[in-house]
Amino acid sequence: MSDAPQPLRIALAGLGTVGAGVIRLIEANSALIARRAGRPIAVTVVGARDRGKDRGVDLTRYAWEDDMVIMGERADVDVVVEMVGGSDGPALACARTTIEAGKALVTANKAMIAHHGLELAAKAEAARVALKFEAAVAGGIPVIKGLREGAAANEIERVYGILNGTCNYILSTMEDSGRDFADVLAEAQAKGYAEADPAFDIEGTDAAHKLSILAAIAFGSSLDFAGVETSGITRLRAADIAQADALGYVIRLIGMADVMDGAEGKCLFQRVQPHLVPFDHPLAHVDGATNAVVAEGNFSGRLLFQGAGAGDGPTASAVVADLIDIARGEIGAPFSVPVAELEVMTTADAGQRTGRAYVRLMAADRPGVLAEITAAFRDAGVSIESLIQKGRSDDGAVMVAMVTHEGPESAVSEAVRLLAGSESLTESPLVLHILGD
Amino acid sequence: MSDAPQPLRIALAGLGTVGAGVIRLIEANSALIARRAGRPIAVTVVGARDRGKDRGVDLTRYAWEDDMVIMGERADVDVVVEMVGGSDGPALACARTTIEAGKALVTANKAMIAHHGLELAAKAEAARVALKFEAAVAGGIPVIKGLREGAAANEIERVYGILNGTCNYILSTMEDSGRDFADVLAEAQAKGYAEADPAFDIEGTDAAHKLSILAAIAFGSSLDFAGVETSGITRLRAADIAQADALGYVIRLIGMADVMDGAEGKCLFQRVQPHLVPFDHPLAHVDGATNAVVAEGNFSGRLLFQGAGAGDGPTASAVVADLIDIARGEIGAPFSVPVAELEVMTTADAGQRTGRAYVRLMAADRPGVLAEITAAFRDAGVSIESLIQKGRSDDGAVMVAMVTHEGPESAVSEAVRLLAGSESLTESPLVLHILGD
């Protein structure tokens, strides 16, 4: 008989809600984790900025380490779980030291992976240790595993989804209540669904971090956060949502990536933007703080992964799934293929894409405005499928909402350019793309 | 520099549509598969009953092996992919020989795994070879990986889903068209969505095979296909679907499993039955031949995996994902924990469950019938939430449809028992459970 298997010894760097969730999960499910992992998973060391803070979990059984950066150098640690947050600073220092010490790193830190994932992955490959970050994208949903392993046989044609629970909560609440953005945001902040400083979520940065990670894994492309075209949900009005509904759509903040053929070879397209989603698309039924990711494979067809995108329980679930993989000996390339084999792609020119768009303009209520607007779209070569002009809004402007026929995005941009500076418009036009098949 | 990595050499046993799909996939995506797997995956040997048949793929580059049973014994084979089908016979012989020869086995054969999965898993563990069957459940959706690895940190509280695409196609077509079962089945057969002999699908057996496999992985319970309470969709009428719609539900064939506490310890509940699914549940929007599986974890919350449940492309995608895992060295316990650690649970007594039910009766159109029916439910202690009596159907009977309040299933069964043999009823009552939170 062999000896009892050695536990996998874990250091937790950072003890916010996710860190406390990881401790609760490992304590609550320890027996089944040991059965599934083939050996126990045991927290040995913890550390955070403030030792004295009450976190609702008993920390007395674990060693305390003040310096999170050196946790990976301790002899009683096999894996460091980095939950400090922030793309740089102590989180990055902790990650580098851990991997350089030959220890595995698990992180929920999407900003750090989006900015430094390739450097860390190259280091991990060189050190032959695991670098895992399932919790960095879509919370508890095993979507990185789904892409990296479940869909590994496929050329992925497109990956897209609802990647930010705060935005989805706000949009689906606006939809249900008919209320405006600022009003719903304030309520979401009061309820704790949105941060006191919500910019990171509502301006799309958080979703862009996640999308860049998904794209690298899906397409074997070099991670390129800077290449994500990002806009948030702050300009949406209740009237946009009502108008979309009348047309058969809901509005969702969608992160989408695919590979386009450019003159110089493959180009990577990555966009985070509110999209009009047809009622009969699975993403149209994703409400509240839920996340969902669709991957379209050339053999699998459309795969959908859906679940809680945030929260301490779901995030801890993803962190510990990574730990179980490590305990089972699964140490693969973090981005599915080795960093050296990731393809560096140029950023795609979105103007080359074709599709349908929703364009909403706020215009002064006076004669000739509609003629000016429609002339600009005609001159840009945009064909209009439908147009509606609504009565005055609270600020005295009238809303003109149109849906274009399928056509190049460059033409719509040109129409918007032609209207720039027009005294007829009270704000710049809002262009939202319509999610196509 | 190390030498070029050795290819993983594959034998394909069975060359039906799935076998041909696997060949097409491996040929089309060979370069990206090699990048992701770390080495090429190469078919070396193929075999099927009829060598002469045209399968639309070029087989001349592969060795032909007449005897599928001995494929695993060949020196030029590392993994056998069993796609012969059938729970016993040549498929099982092929599987046993392969594992006993120390080679890995990948299969899409849900019947064989449902009946002999534990024996094969024990053999594979003893031989330290991989046994993988992602394609056996829900086609191209990586749901076995999702449960076995993605949700591995969780105690799974319930697993359920739409596991048979043929039934879902029929039900969603009945829903859209208002047509009756037999009519839609005939059309599905003509279009190739249903087999000439559809019993296996429409009576729920196929879904029961898949459910038993999911339950073993989710709960660490000993695989128990015989313990699945199974009913199909053959008794459903267009009027049931219309009535469900009026009440705020769609009807879907759901396979569901959870663990109940019994007097003697843990009991395994497994049921395949048409359920009423509330409009706001994600499964209510799963239409056509799509499959979807929900796993509810104690930390992850509700996870949904959705995609194509059948077809050569999706099934090949799952088969080759298993091959990539094997090429990467991932050889874990097939049912997540070693066979010896799976818990043998008794079959749960469904009567102990509580819930709401839809009960539909076809009754003679004469005075006193409604009084007889409602008296039986009163005497059984069933509380009625709503009841509707509809006019005569084509066969001269009237339909009585009721929804019960939350209560024990045993009470509803008792009411049905009290009505057994009643001359007022033209067929036995149809009881469908309502999917609860």
**A173 and A96 belong to one structural domain:** no
* Mean pLDDT of all residues in A64-81: 96
- Judged against a pLDDT cut of 90, whether residue A396 lies above it is answered with no
Asked whether residue A86 is domain-assigned, the answer is: yes
Asked whether residue A430 is domain-assigned, the answer is: yes
**B425 and B394 belong to one structural domain:** yes
Can you tell me the distance from the alpha carbon of A87 to that of B286, in angstroms, rounded to the nearest whole number? 39
Inform me whether the C-beta atom of residue B21 falls under 8 Å from chain A C-beta atoms. yes
**A160 and A304 belong to one structural domain:** yes
- Judged against a pLDDT cut of 50, whether residue B267 lies above it is answered with yes
**A82 and A156 belong to one structural domain:** no
pLDDT bin (cut points 50, 70, 90) of residue A219 is very high
| Residue linked to tokens 């989408």 | A256
B410-432: pLDDT as tens digits = 999 999 999 999 999 999 999 99
- pLDDT value, residue A340: 96
- pLDDT value, residue A2: 53
Asked whether residue B341 is domain-assigned, the answer is: no
pLDDT bin (cut points 50, 70, 90) of residue B437 is confident
Cβ-nearest to B29 among A145, A155, A319: A155
**A63 and A201 belong to one structural domain:** no
CATH number of the domain residue A359 falls in: 3.30.70.260
**B22 and B131 belong to one structural domain:** yes
A residues 26..85 contacting B (CB < 8 A) = 28-29, 32-33, 35-38
**A390 and A365 belong to one structural domain:** yes
Can you tell me the distance from the alpha carbon of B249 to that of B358, in angstroms, rounded to the nearest whole number? 11
Name the domain boundary from B136, B161, B185: B136
Contacts of A293 by beta carbon, 8 Å cutoff, 6+ apart: A137, A138, A141, A143, A146, A159, A160, A161, A162, A163, A214, A304, A305, A306
* Mean pLDDT of all residues in B184-204: 91
pLDDT bin (cut points 50, 70, 90) of residue A3 is low
- Judged against a pLDDT cut of 60, whether residue B4 lies above it is answered with yes
**A127 and A29 belong to one structural domain:** yes
Distance of CA A234 to the CA centre of its chain: 17
B123-181: pLDDT as tens digits = 999 999 999 999 999 999 999 999 999 999 999 999 999 999 999 999 999 999 999 99
Asked whether residue B83 is domain-assigned, the answer is: yes
Cβ-nearest to B314 among A145, A299, A320: A299
- Judged against a pLDDT cut of 80, whether residue B53 lies above it is answered with yes
**Cα dihedral B309, A307, B219, B127 sign:** positive
**B159 and B294 belong to one structural domain:** yes
Looking at every residue in chain A, the average pLDDT score rounds to 95
Can you tell me the distance from the alpha carbon of A393 to that of A399, in angstroms, rounded to the nearest whole number? 7
pLDDT above 70 covers what percent of chain B? 99
Phi, psi (deg, nearest 5) at residue B35: -65, -45
* CB contact (8 A) between residue B155 and residue A313: no
- Judged against a pLDDT cut of 70, whether residue B3 lies above it is answered with no
* Mean pLDDT of all residues in B188-208: 92
* CB contact (8 A) between residue B150 and residue A321: yes
* CB contact (8 A) between residue B142 and residue A155: no
Can you tell me the distance from the alpha carbon of A325 to that of B336, in angstroms, rounded to the nearest whole number? 11
In this predicted structure, which of B123-132, B189-198, B233-242, B373-382 has the lowest mean pLDDT? B189-198
Q: Which residue of A has its CA nearest to B303?
A: A307
Best of A27, A36, A319 to mutate (most B CBs within 10 Å, chain B): A36
pLDDT bin (cut points 50, 70, 90) of residue B2 is low
Best of B29, B149, B162, B343 to mutate (most A CBs within 10 Å, chain A): B149
Asked whether residue A340 is domain-assigned, the answer is: no
- pLDDT value, residue B128: 96
- DSSP letter string, A344-362: P-EEP-GGG-EE-EEEEEE
Distance of CA A265 to the CA centre of its chain: 27
Asked whether residue B40 is domain-assigned, the answer is: yes
Contacts of A276 by beta carbon, 8 Å cutoff, 6+ apart: A244, A247, A249, A250, A251, A358, A432, A433, A434, A435
With CA atoms as reference, report the closest residue to B229 among B260, B198, B257, B190.
Answer: B257
Cβ-nearest to B304 among A298, A307, A319: A307
The more confident residue out of A273 and A366 is A273
Looking at every residue in chain B, the average pLDDT score rounds to 95
Name the domain boundary from A93, A119, A136: A136
**B174 and B125 belong to one structural domain:** no
- Judged against a pLDDT cut of 50, whether residue A1 lies above it is answered with no
Name the domain boundary from A256, A284, A308: A308
Q: Which residue of B has its CA nearest to A285?
A: B282
- DSSP letter string, A273-325: EEEEEETTSGGGG--TTEEEEEEEETTTEEEEEEEE-SSHHHHHHHHHHHHHH
CA distance A337 to chain B (A): 5
Asked whether residue B328 is domain-assigned, the answer is: no
CATH number of the domain residue B202 falls in: 3.30.360.10
Number of domains in chain B: 3
Q: Over the range B93-115, which residues count as b (16 or more CB within 10 Å of their CB) and which as e?
A: bbbbbbbebebbbbbbbbbbbbb
* CB contact (8 A) between residue B299 and residue A282: no
CATH number of the domain residue A96 falls in: 3.40.50.720
- DSSP letter string, A266-286: EEEEEEEEEEEEETTSGGGG-
Is A52 labeled as ligand-binding?
no
Cβ-nearest to A152 among B146, B220, B321: B321
* CB contact (8 A) between residue A140 and residue B314: no
pLDDT bin (cut points 50, 70, 90) of residue B227 is very high
Pairs of residues, one from chain A and one from chain B, whose beta carbons lie less than 8 Å apart: 199
Q: Are A284 and B124 in contact (CB under 8 A)?
A: no
**A263 and A165 belong to one structural domain:** yes
Neighbours of B338 (CB within 10 A): 16
- Judged against a pLDDT cut of 90, whether residue A180 lies above it is answered with yes
**B86 and B118 belong to one structural domain:** yes
Is B17 labeled as ligand-binding?
yes
- Judged against a pLDDT cut of 70, whether residue A59 lies above it is answered with yes
B158, β-bridge pairs: B258, B296
B residues 136..155 contacting A (CB < 8 A) = 140-142, 145-146, 149-155
* Reported ipTM: 0.96
Asked whether residue B384 is domain-assigned, the answer is: yes
* CB contact (8 A) between residue B314 and residue A328: no
Which residues span the domain enclosing B64? 8-136
pLDDT bin (cut points 50, 70, 90) of residue B1 is very low
Tell me whether residue B210 is one of the annotated catalytic residues: yes
**Cα dihedral A96, A99, A102, A103 sign:** positive
Is B290 labeled as ligand-binding?
no
Is A17 labeled as ligand-binding?
yes
A341-377: pLDDT as tens digits = 999 999 999 999 999 999 999 999 888 999 999 999 9
Q: Which residue of A has its CA nearest to B340?
A: A35
pLDDT bin (cut points 50, 70, 90) of residue B91 is very high
> What residue type is assigned to position A135 of the chain?
A
